[in-house]
A and B are shown apart, each in its own frame.
Chain A
Amino acid sequence: MTRTARTLALVLSATIATASPLAAQVPFSRLAAAERDSANWLTYSGSYSGQRFSRLAQVNRTNVAALRPVWLHQLQNTQFMAEATPLVADGVMYVSETMSAVTALDVRTGRTLWRYAPTIPPTTKWIGFLPTSRGVALLDSTVYLATINAHLIALDARSGTVRWDVEVADNKLGYAFTLAPLAIKGKILVGVSGGEAGIRGFIDAYDATTGKLAWRFHTIPGSGEPGNETWGGDSWKTGGGPTWLTGAFDPELNTVYWGVGNPGPDWNGDSRPGDNLYTCSLVALDADTGKLKWHFQFTPHDTHDWDANQIPVLVDATVNGARRKLVLTANRNAFYYALDRVTGEFIGGRDYAKQTWSTGLDATGKAQVIPGKEPSDSGTLVWPSLQGATNWNSPAYSPRTNLFYVNAREMGSYYYKREAEYEPGNPFMGGGERALENDSASGAVRALEPLTGKMRWEFRHHSPPWAGLMATAGGLVFSGSNEGNFFALDASTGKALWQFQTGGFIRAAPITYMVDGKQRVAIVSNNAVIVFALP
């Protein structure tokens, strides 16, 4: 063997030894055990439980102050701000961009492996939101993307080529996708946006291999179905109930937990007398059939656009000496709720941010409404604003501290009631707000006791936050700010331990994973993916 050949052989063997497959193989069994697979970030909320908790502890309270950027990747679509949670599997990062593009990156270097940008017709409608994409789903060797023009697309994880593409709903009527799909056993679940366009919301499950519809759950019951009587006249047909954020899944109970958004028209409830089920509710569905197991409505007959789409968080806890399976949620209406996730029974809760519309929750978890807080002709001042006390920004839960973390927004708003006339594919809102911005509006990362919602600590923001949270076994909570700070707090006390000025608005949630035996932390800031590690 010549010297050159020997060198080549050595190089080849070294390459093979360190090469990762550079394409994901993520069977359902891996997703179901994602909590234990800390080296990767396999699904939107890190695991099916929605906890956004990582067992990684290499970066921790004692050394986080040394965290430094490793690489930065600038996404190509820059007209709007990204809100994506990247996924990481087997050496590849999959990050979605605004206008429904997906880029696969070499997780070690940030170099692009492939990029897929679907054709989004210029006539595509997004009524009441921006054409963002909060992430993708992985199952086996496929990446699933839900697009702004209401398609669900399956991509080959190795190359980004299309395996199938189905039109889920008619975008001309205002149906659209902004969420990361949820991959469960053999099925891909999606929920729609369009609550300001008079859609009739649903949650769909598609066969992961063929793209064939497996089941559909309408968030507004049809004529003759239980719950339809909570809508006056034909108002249910254009009643909204969007499902625009990713749900949680309990494989043991085979149950999907998903939040449902506002009734339509948003701020003028005259045409829809009644509680308007299942808007502003959490629904528990059988994962095989989509059949409703139970529901809990947080804001009956909502007229403030307080969607209940926030990420549900599944936690097991001891309640009065008995182990209970719970689902926790900090709602847009400013109340925190702990529910039994087997039955939907209310366990505890209270307000976690400033609100002026309710005297509190009764023993069943129903908010006691103060009269006169409805939107009006001249404007009615109410806290929280229509953006709510929280919004799409993911919460987190740490089993180590046993605390629930939420980025709370505190801002009042004048709510107006206006005309509402349904025209297919047009705004159907009946009013709106004028928010009290300025320095009177603010927010905080708040740590809540999981059974009661009682606040243990807070870290004050400069302005009402839009970033998600992540908790780690390193005793840290990571989040970001509108002003560009990416930061780490002590998970037990809320003390700030590290911050980095990213130079862009942070509207996404952090993730963490391992590369070459070292923990990395990543965040999307404006349209840049920034990855950090210890020196």
Chain B
Amino acid sequence: MPRTRALRATPLALACALTLAGPAVARAQQVASAGGAALARGRTLFDAQCARCHGIEGTGGVGPSLQRPVLGRAPNDTALATLIATGIDDRGMPGAWQLSPNEVSMLVAYVRSLGNRPPEVAPGDAARGEALFRGRGGCLACHVVRGTGGVIGPELSNVGAARGVAYLRRALRDPGAELPAGPGISYAGSEHVRYLLVRAVPMSGPPITGIRVNEDAFTIQVRDTGGAIHSLEKRRLRALEKLFHASLMPSAGPAYTNTEIDDIVSYLMTLRGGA
């Protein structure tokens, strides 16, 4: 009867993960020394369940790159096994409750092997990127970095730790391609697309275009481009359009060269937390 994703703190993660982590560590050490077939199995599991966010071979995507010798949240194998089993609630990483302790151990060994590779190199010049970000790009109009900026788009103060190069490059070129998903603001019932662009047409008055802040079956709260919140009752709307593959952010594609985009990505990769 698992009800695994009904809660962000998944019951199976709660129930099983702690059980899994202990035995998994001892086995991970065996797997690491054994190598070969177990590592290959770890890779198969990774490709099936982790690569969607962390990228094939852990190059990063929606989730951060794992090609780093030290993982901030998982300094040792015990922490890594626990993290894989329980997930990271506030980052949208689910716990791998599907895996047996043996399988978690193989995954731990594989993820550790990724850390032995050369780290992902940010492709451009971070200083030039910051100048573009703050100057011509005007990115702070919508994004907060270290306490300064607008609230139309997501805060970027930790984006370098949370995302990989490939994701950021794509997000700059095609901002609507993959909107971030996460738990709703007030309720952890299920994940919804964040920063969804919506167009609401009231029975009377002008249409409202903006970002969905929250929604239920009866109401929707929209932040318009000016930052104002509109509280709307669905029964008083003539139409409600949800633009799943669009974004208020303009594409950097036409206005910036490939080098400039790489510079901005390099700057973003330096943003790793802190106010």
Q: How far is the CA of A432 from the CA of B98 in the complex (A)?
A: 5
User: Which chain A residues numbered 56 to 101 have a C-beta less than 8 Å away from chain B?
Assistant: 81
Q: Which of A126, A420, A483 contacts B187 (CB 8 A)?
A: A483
Q: How far is the CA of A505 from the CA of B190 in the complex (A)?
A: 11
Q: List residues of chain A with CB within 8 A of the CB of B100.
A: 418-421, 427
Q: List residues of chain A with CB within 8 A of the CB of B99.
A: 418, 432
User: Which chain A residues numbered 362 to 420 have a C-beta less than 8 Å away from chain B?
Assistant: 377-379, 385-387, 391-392, 416, 418-420
Closest residue of B by beta carbon distance from A266:
B2
Whole-angstrom distance from the CB of A258 to the nearest CB of chain B?
14
A34-42, A342-350, A460-468: which lies at the interface: A460-468
B188 at the interface (CB under 8 A from A): yes
Whole-angstrom distance from the CB of A130 to the nearest CB of chain B?
5
A269 at the interface (CB under 8 A from B): no
Q: List residues of chain A with CB within 8 A of the CB of B48.
A: 377-379, 416
A441 at the interface (CB under 8 A from B): yes
Q: How far is the CA of A379 from the CA of B96 in the complex (A)?
A: 13
Known: A128-B11, A437-B181, A466-B6. Contact between A481 and B216, CB under 8 A? Answer: yes
Q: List residues of chain A with CB within 8 A of the CB of B184.
A: 463, 483
Q: How far is the CA of A524 from the CA of B181 in the complex (A)?
A: 28
Contact B216 A391 (CB under 8 A): no
Q: List residues of chain A with CB within 8 A of the CB of B187.
A: 482-484, 504-505
Closest residue of A by beta carbon distance from B218:
A499
Closest residue of B by beta carbon distance from A425:
B19
Q: List residues of chain B with CB within 8 A of the CB of A434.
A: 49, 52, 94
B119 at the interface (CB under 8 A from A): no
Secondary structure at the A interface, as helix, strand, loop or mixed, is loop
Closest residue of B by beta carbon distance from A309:
B1
Contact A419 B103 (CB under 8 A): yes
- Number of residues on chain B facing chain A (CB within 8 A): 44
Closest residue of B by beta carbon distance from A428:
B100
A198 at the interface (CB under 8 A from B): no
User: Which chain A residues numbered 473 to 508 have a C-beta less than 8 Å away from chain B?
Assistant: 481-485, 487, 496, 499, 501, 503-505, 507
Q: How far is the CA of A429 from the CA of B16 in the complex (A)?
A: 11
Q: Which of B3, B4, B216, B235 contacts A462 (CB 8 A)?
A: B216
Contact B19 A426 (CB under 8 A): yes
Number of A-B pairs, beta carbon distance below 8 Å: 155
Chain B 5-21 interface mask (CB, 8 Å, partner A; 1/0): 11100011011100110
A127 at the interface (CB under 8 A from B): yes
A125 at the interface (CB under 8 A from B): yes
Q: Which of A391, A419, A503 contacts B102 (CB 8 A)?
A: A419
Q: List residues of chain A with CB within 8 A of the CB of B181.
A: 437-438
A439 at the interface (CB under 8 A from B): yes
Q: How far is the CA of A427 from the CA of B18 in the complex (A)?
A: 11
Chain B 244-268 interface mask (CB, 8 Å, partner A; 1/0): 1000000000000000000000000
B47 at the interface (CB under 8 A from A): yes
Q: Which of A267, A416, A437, A499 contacts B190 (CB 8 A)?
A: A437
B167 at the interface (CB under 8 A from A): no
Q: List residues of chain A with CB within 8 A of the CB of B191.
A: 437-438
A26 at the interface (CB under 8 A from B): no
User: Which chain B residues numbered 156 to 191 have a C-beta less than 8 Å away from chain A?
Assistant: 181, 184, 186-191
Whole-angstrom distance from the CB of A420 to the nearest CB of chain B?
7
Contact B4 A463 (CB under 8 A): no
Closest residue of A by beta carbon distance from B15:
A127
User: Which chain B residues numbered 214 to 236 have a C-beta less than 8 Å away from chain A?
Assistant: 215-218, 235
Contact B98 A429 (CB under 8 A): yes
Whole-angstrom distance from the CB of A185 to the nearest CB of chain B?
29
Q: How far is the CA of A463 from the CA of B217 in the complex (A)?
A: 8
Q: How far is the CA of A101 from the CA of B191 in the complex (A)?
A: 31
Contact A432 B216 (CB under 8 A): no
Known: A427-B97, A483-B216. Contact between A130 and B14, CB under 8 A? Answer: yes
B242 at the interface (CB under 8 A from A): yes
Contact A130 B11 (CB under 8 A): yes
Known: A379-B48, A441-B190. Contact between A460 and B217, CB under 8 A? Answer: yes
A433 at the interface (CB under 8 A from B): yes
Q: Which of A130, A438, A462 contacts B193 (CB 8 A)?
A: A438
Q: How far is the CA of A459 from the CA of B192 in the complex (A)?
A: 20
Q: List residues of chain A with CB within 8 A of the CB of B192.
A: 437-439, 463
Contact A505 B103 (CB under 8 A): no
Known: A244-B1, A432-B97, A505-B188. Contact between A126 and B216, CB under 8 A? Answer: no
Known: A129-B15, A130-B14, A462-B215. Contact between A437 and B5, CB under 8 A? Answer: yes
Q: How far is the CA of A386 from the CA of B44 in the complex (A)?
A: 23
Whole-angstrom distance from the CB of A434 to the nearest CB of chain B?
7
Contact B4 A386 (CB under 8 A): yes
A193 at the interface (CB under 8 A from B): yes
Contact B44 A129 (CB under 8 A): no
Contact A130 B7 (CB under 8 A): yes
Contact A127 B16 (CB under 8 A): yes
Whole-angstrom distance from the CB of A333 to the nearest CB of chain B?
14
Whole-angstrom distance from the CB of A65 to the nearest CB of chain B?
12
Q: How far is the CA of A413 from the CA of B157 in the complex (A)?
A: 33
Contact B1 A261 (CB under 8 A): yes
Whole-angstrom distance from the CB of B198 to the nearest CB of chain A?
11
Extra pairs beyond A129-B3, A466-B189 (20, CB < 8 Å): A127-B15, A128-B11, A128-B12, A129-B2, A130-B14, A193-B1, A196-B1, A386-B2, A387-B3, A391-B1, A416-B48, A418-B98, A418-B100, A419-B100, A421-B102, A462-B215, A462-B217, A464-B190, A483-B186, A484-B186
Q: Closest 7 CB pairs between A and B?
A: A432-B98, A482-B189, A483-B216, A437-B191, A128-B2, A427-B16, A463-B190
22 interchain pairs (CB within 8 A)?
A81-B7, A126-B15, A127-B15, A127-B16, A128-B15, A261-B1, A267-B98, A427-B19, A427-B97, A431-B98, A432-B97, A432-B98, A434-B94, A483-B184, A483-B187, A483-B217, A484-B216, A485-B217, A487-B218, A496-B235, A499-B217, A507-B6
Residues of B within 8 A of A (CB): 1-7, 11-12, 14-16, 19-20, 44, 47-49, 52, 94, 97-100, 102-103, 181, 184, 186-193, 196, 215-218, 235, 242, 244
